[in-house]
Structure 1
Amino acid sequence: MSTEIRPFQIDIAPVDLDDLNNRLDRTRWPQQLPGDGWSRGVPVAYLRELADYWRNEYDWRRHEARLNEFPQFMTEIDGQEIHFLHVRSAEPGALPLILTHGWPNSFVEFTDLIARLTDPRAHGGDPAQAFHVVVPSVPGFGFSAPPRGTGWTATRVAQMWAELMRRLGYERYGTQGGDFGAYVAPEMAKTAPDHVVGVYIISGLGFPTEKDLPEMTEDERAAYTQLMEQDWMNGVDHHALLRAAPQTFTYGWHDSPVAALAWMTQKFHEFNASGKPLEQVIDRDLFLTNVSLYWFTGTFGTSAWPYYDSTGFGWPEGQTATPTGVYSGPPGIRRLAERHNTILHWPEDNPGGHHFIAMDQPDHLAADIRAFFAKVR
């Protein structure tokens, strides 16, 4: 097995940009179904305006150049070609930190977060709390090769990440994750307990289930009711859809940029708990950069493997090998999280908004990551 680390730059071919524009120009638009607002899905008028912006105003080359400002690399691990960012801090004593993105996101999720971690001095933070940042693309996402065969798990990804950190020469490091990353990050501590100093999760630990109801207080039951009413709990069941027939839906996402855009918009809308329109929570160009990355790499289907390789949905459980911190405890319940974790950091007043908090609140997230790892460095 080759352990070579090769520099990488994004360079989407002009013919692929032309193809995207031609497909957008030839969209066959449906009629709007009866119903208020988003009750039937993404409204036609909303998506037409967004698609027009993608076609005529969004500048992929500008955002491609911005992404290429990050040092990027490829390496082979476990027979898989893995793409990753490796941004070293200029600060002495910086702690290595690996960030794992979620679905349907990519390394683009951390575009606005990375500099706040590597260069806290420039963002109002303590330079003694700087990080060397590693951001791998999960297999099947973006420029990382899709998994070969079935049976892939968060544990297997964690083992690959541990090897990546070893290959980069890091003996002691932290790990962070949200969404799918919230499953991978704890598994890294289990895989490499002598190397991981702390696990930081965006949210999801200690989330109550029906079996917890008998032992819950009145306030906890109220929080559980509120959790079950959230859009992201009651929208399109992507877990079931991608577990049952991902190949079927991939044809539309792979062939039609508007079908792909509608799917992404639906999920990012459901993941938005701020009460504000999506474009006021996540920068429109940042959102479209993520959509464009999926489109150009053809990974709408290959990124579905965490779902079609699963047997059902379950909240991340965590681990006890190393201390754990979270960005937001609620709607999780700390005493439930402590059944499977050594909780060291459980704030209840961090600003929320979108499920992908790194895109919504990069300043607050960076500050909280620094606050947690200051306790375990």
Structure 2
Amino acid sequence: MSDAIQPFEIHIPQVELDDLADRLTRTRWPDAGTVQDGSQGPQPGRIRALAERWQDGYDWRGTEALLNGWGSSRTVIDGLGIHFLHIHSPEPDATPLLLTHGWPGSVLEFRDVIGPLSDPRAHDGDASDAFHLVIPALPGFGFSDKPMEPGWGVGRTAAAWGELMQRLGYGDRWIAQGGDWGAAVTTALAHMRVRGLAGIHLNMVMFQPTPEEVADATPQEQRMLDDAVRYDRDYSGYMKLQCTRPQSLAFALADSPVGLASWIYALFQDVSDSGGRPERVISLDHLIDDIMLYWLPNAGPSSARFYWEAAQEMAKGMPNVPLPLPAGVSMLPGEQVRLSRRWAEKRFADLRYFGEATSGGHFAAMENPATFVEHVRSTFRAMS
């Protein structure tokens, strides 16, 4: 049947890993540039160190086994094959939780929270905090299929996620979480009032302050506004390119592993809470794992096109009413686009939880998994 859920064991042929090793060996490196910091992008020494580890010491087969052990599966929805991880909690009364990643993340964004969320009693938690986890790869990302026609943006993805939860038998009551594009998809799910969705949690809120909010900003809120301006001015070049001319970039992302790695590393550098050194908060092997989920399936080009699709949707207008379902929000200090609680209360009709962290940035589940788990649990306790 076309709607069947099929196990999907990942096993990359050795010839593909050998090709990657050969390409890394033959990298033509750029010159050092004209500045000695990251203001023009990643410094060559950082990317050389990543490439050296990629060539010597990094173990893809271990990651492959990890993914296969987390219920790697696929199903076809709306004509597109969707890859997802499906982790069953040992607790029979666990609540189904849909986790959606963003760019340049992947299903592996959640690797450090899978255990605590699905089996809390094994991680100093209570059985009542247990979740069955569903972690899909966005269309054109990882081992999900690449759309061959326009239209696979945020809204169509949200509809597909709703269908996925029905197929898995979770249609009566489930909850959803996301950051980055995952936040956009999760927000769309709530506005669509998809069957069975009881509430959401976001670690990023896509919003524009009103002129009144800008004029009336507290000192803390003004810092948020200043950070958002800095992000748009200094860090958002990748987004503007991918929203307008993703295919111009596609050839480099498909052909050069170091080119792909540096493009992805740049955002980890710029928007993690690491002082521009993402290796301080995320292990280098985990960064390479993430890059591999773009390199191996040649998903760099197709993932970039997701931005173009979303830009077409936004040009048509997005919902401008408070989000109707119960919601929780986490704000991490290194996130570049933040909002205060009073700003959030205007945008959520039923804000059950608002949590602030002392560390962490855009990649919340990777940078501060303990706080991420705590905030997710607190949000959904408030909805039970």
Shorter-chain TM-score bucket reads over 0.9
Letter in 2 for 1:41: G
Distance 1:180 1:128, change over 3 A: same
2:337 matched to 1:368?
A: no
Contact between 1:282 and 1:360, CA under 8 Å: does it hold in 2?
Answer: yes
Distance (Å, rounded) in 1 between the aligned partners of 2:219 and 2:372? 30
Contact between 1:89 and 1:119, CA under 8 Å: does it hold in 2?
Answer: yes
Contact between 1:186 and 1:318, CA under 8 Å: does it hold in 2?
Answer: no
Distance 1:223 1:303, change over 3 A: closer
| TM-fit CA distance, 1:250 | 1.1
| TM-fit CA distance, 1:173 | 0.3
| TM-fit CA distance, 1:320 | 2.9
Q: Render the CA deviation track for 1:106-155: whole Å, top value 9, x for unaligned.
A: 11111111111000111111111100000011110011111231133211
Distance 1:205 1:325, change over 3 A: farther
Distance (Å, rounded) in 1 between the aligned partners of 2:66 and 2:322? 36
Contact between 2:84 and 2:135, CA under 8 Å: does it hold in 1?
Answer: yes
Q: TM-score, normalised by structure 1?
A: 0.93
Aligned residue number for residue 125 of structure 1:
125
Distance (Å, rounded) in 1 between the aligned partners of 2:288 and 2:241? 23
Distance (Å, rounded) in 2 between the aligned partners of 1:191 and 1:111? 28
Distance (Å, rounded) in 1 between the aligned partners of 2:188 and 2:205? 15
Aligned-residue Cα RMSD (Å) equals 2.2
Distance (Å, rounded) in 2 between the aligned partners of 1:129 and 1:233? 41
Letter in 2 for 1:322: L
Letter in 2 for 1:364: T
Aligned residue number for residue 217 of structure 2:
216
Distance 1:27 1:116, change over 3 A: same
Distance 1:242 1:66, change over 3 A: same
Letter in 1 for 2:22: N
Letter in 1 for 2:326: P
| TM-fit CA distance, 1:233 | 5.9
Aligned residue number for residue 327 of structure 2:
324
Aligned residue number for residue 344 of structure 1:
352
2:102 matched to 1:102?
A: yes
| SS at 1:84 equivalent | strand
Distance (Å, rounded) in 2 between the aligned partners of 1:256 and 1:271? 24
- Paired residues in the alignment total 375
Distance (Å, rounded) in 1 between the aligned partners of 2:293 and 2:225? 36
Contact between 1:154 and 1:187, CA under 8 Å: does it hold in 2?
Answer: yes
Contact between 2:274 and 2:280, CA under 8 Å: does it hold in 1?
Answer: no
Distance 1:131 1:316, change over 3 A: farther
Distance 1:32 1:136, change over 3 A: same
Distance 1:347 1:316, change over 3 A: farther
Letter in 1 for 2:292: S
Letter in 2 for 1:343: L
Distance (Å, rounded) in 2 between the aligned partners of 1:216 and 1:79? 47
Distance 1:318 1:297, change over 3 A: farther
2:229 matched to 1:228?
A: yes
Distance (Å, rounded) in 1 between the aligned partners of 2:62 and 2:320? 40
| TM-fit CA distance, 1:364 | 1.5
Distance (Å, rounded) in 2 between the aligned partners of 1:203 and 1:305? 21
- After the TM superposition, which segments of 4 or more aligned residues of structure 1 sit over 6 Å from their partners? 312-318
Distance (Å, rounded) in 1 between the aligned partners of 2:270 and 2:319? 20
Contact between 2:332 and 2:362, CA under 8 Å: does it hold in 1?
Answer: no
Distance (Å, rounded) in 2 between the aligned partners of 1:262 and 1:121? 39
Contact between 1:207 and 1:333, CA under 8 Å: does it hold in 2?
Answer: no
Letter in 2 for 1:229: R
Bigger mean CA deviation after superposition, 115-124 or 151-160: 151-160
Contact between 1:206 and 1:338, CA under 8 Å: does it hold in 2?
Answer: no
Contact between 1:272 and 1:353, CA under 8 Å: does it hold in 2?
Answer: yes
Bigger mean CA deviation after superposition, 48-57 or 267-276: 267-276
Contact between 1:162 and 1:191, CA under 8 Å: does it hold in 2?
Answer: no
| SS at 1:51 equivalent | helix
Letter in 1 for 2:157: V
Distance (Å, rounded) in 2 between the aligned partners of 1:153 and 1:30? 34
| SS at 2:324 equivalent | coil
Contact between 2:110 and 2:365, CA under 8 Å: does it hold in 1?
Answer: yes
Letter in 2 for 1:201: L
| TM-fit CA distance, 1:372 | 0.8
Distance (Å, rounded) in 2 between the aligned partners of 1:218 and 1:364? 25
For structure 1, which runs of at least 5 residues remain unmatched after alignment?
Answer: none
Distance (Å, rounded) in 1 between the aligned partners of 2:318 and 2:239? 12
Distance (Å, rounded) in 2 between the aligned partners of 1:338 and 1:315? 19
The correspondence of residues 348-359 of structure 1 with structure 2, limited to 5 A, is: 348=356, 350-359=357-366
Contact between 2:137 and 2:144, CA under 8 Å: does it hold in 1?
Answer: yes
| SS at 1:12 equivalent | coil
Distance (Å, rounded) in 2 between the aligned partners of 1:20 and 1:219? 46
| TM-fit CA distance, 1:317 | 6.9
| Sequence identity percentage | 39
Aligned residue number for residue 87 of structure 2:
87
Distance 1:262 1:141, change over 3 A: same
2:163 matched to 1:155?
A: no
Distance (Å, rounded) in 2 between the aligned partners of 1:316 and 1:281? 35
Bigger mean CA deviation after superposition, 110-119 or 335-344: 335-344
Contact between 2:162 and 2:195, CA under 8 Å: does it hold in 1?
Answer: no
2:287 matched to 1:287?
A: yes
Contact between 1:187 and 1:319, CA under 8 Å: does it hold in 2?
Answer: no
Distance 1:68 1:233, change over 3 A: farther
For structure 2, which runs of at least 5 residues remain unmatched after alignment?
Answer: none
Distance (Å, rounded) in 2 between the aligned partners of 1:317 and 1:301? 31
The correspondence of residues 1-377 of structure 1 with structure 2, limited to 5 A, is: 2-170=2-170, 171-204=172-205, 208=209, 212-229=213-230, 234-275=234-275, 277-309=277-309, 310-311=311-312, 319-328=322-331, 331-341=338-348, 342-348=350-356, 350-377=357-384
Contact between 1:205 and 1:337, CA under 8 Å: does it hold in 2?
Answer: no
Distance (Å, rounded) in 2 between the aligned partners of 1:143 and 1:317? 34
Distance (Å, rounded) in 1 between the aligned partners of 2:321 and 2:46? 39
